[in-house]
Amino acid sequence: MIVKVCGVRTAEVADAAVDAGADWIGLMLVRTSPRWVDDAAATDVVRAVGNRADLIGVFVEPSAAECDEAASRYHLAAVQVHGRFDPSLVTGCAVPVIPVFNVADGPAASTIDWPPDTLLMLDGMPERGALPGGTGRRVPLEWAAHVARHREIVLAGGLGPDDVAGVISAVRPAGVDASSRLESRPGEKDSALVRRFVVAARAAGAKLGSHPR
């Protein structure tokens, strides 16, 4: 079970997440997001994480060059890509690309047009005009479970410490990702909530006999 904490902006929160057992730490590299990290903050997070977890760069509609530059600068293990982009990006970057789908209905969730060996992320549909990530909106569990029966997914969208165990049990995803519900205000993670989320997700994954990728 992959456990990811996204939108990490400080070394303190990164340390809390990794100490609790997080596998992935997400760096938001979109300037218009309240969770954006500038170079100095991103570098602090990278140093805090060290080699204890993987760093994932989060983008909206980037070029391959942008992904590769960030991957090199911040030692990213992968990039997570939101919005519309050419499928060639998935094979055109120096690190693995995780496409994110904002699911609006059941049929859309069931007909995701990507190779079956590509790890996908499912997220809730944002409000009109909002950024596509960190929506805090839940993907209906029956839709997510249907997709997870056919391919590996990381499930995002409104997950928090109190409900992640039930979501993992119902969907059986390859991983879970949380951001907005681990915050005291937009962009400011609460270390206690981060720890509770990671511990709960780790325990629920262990009950399923899952292991990190």
What pLDDT, on the 0 to 100 scale, is given for residue 130?
A: 56
What CATH number labels 2-207? 3.20.20.70
| Cβ partners under 8 Å of residue 209, min gap 6 | none
> Quick check: 52 and 21 in contact, CB under 8 A?
no
What pLDDT, on the 0 to 100 scale, is given for residue 36?
A: 96
Measure Cα distances from 93 to 65, 136, 153, 185 in Å: 8, 28, 20, 33
What pLDDT, on the 0 to 100 scale, is given for residue 212?
A: 45
Measure Cα distances from 109 to 20, 60, 103, 142 in Å: 31, 20, 6, 10
What are the residue boundaries of the structural domains of the chain, listed by start? 2-207
Beta strands (DSSP E) in 7-68 are 24-28, 54-60
Which pTM was predicted? 0.93
What pLDDT, on the 0 to 100 scale, is given for residue 135?
A: 63
196 burial level (CB within 10 Å; 0-12, 13-18, 19+): middle
> Quick check: 49 and 56 in contact, CB under 8 A?
no
Local confidence pLDDT in tens for the 213 residues of the chain: 999 999 999 999 999 999 999 999 999 999 999 999 999 999 999 999 999 999 999 999 999 999 999 999 999 999 999 988 888 898 899 999 999 988 877 776 776 777 778 899 999 876 665 565 666 678 999 999 999 998 999 999 999 999 999 999 999 999 999 999 999 999 999 999 999 999 999 999 999 874 444
Measure Cα distances from 207 to 53, 106, 152, 203 in Å: 22, 28, 18, 6
Q: Pairing state of beta strands 183-185 and 188-189?
A: antiparallel
Phi and psi at 64, nearest 5°, equal -60, -35
Phi and psi at 163, nearest 5°, equal -125, -5
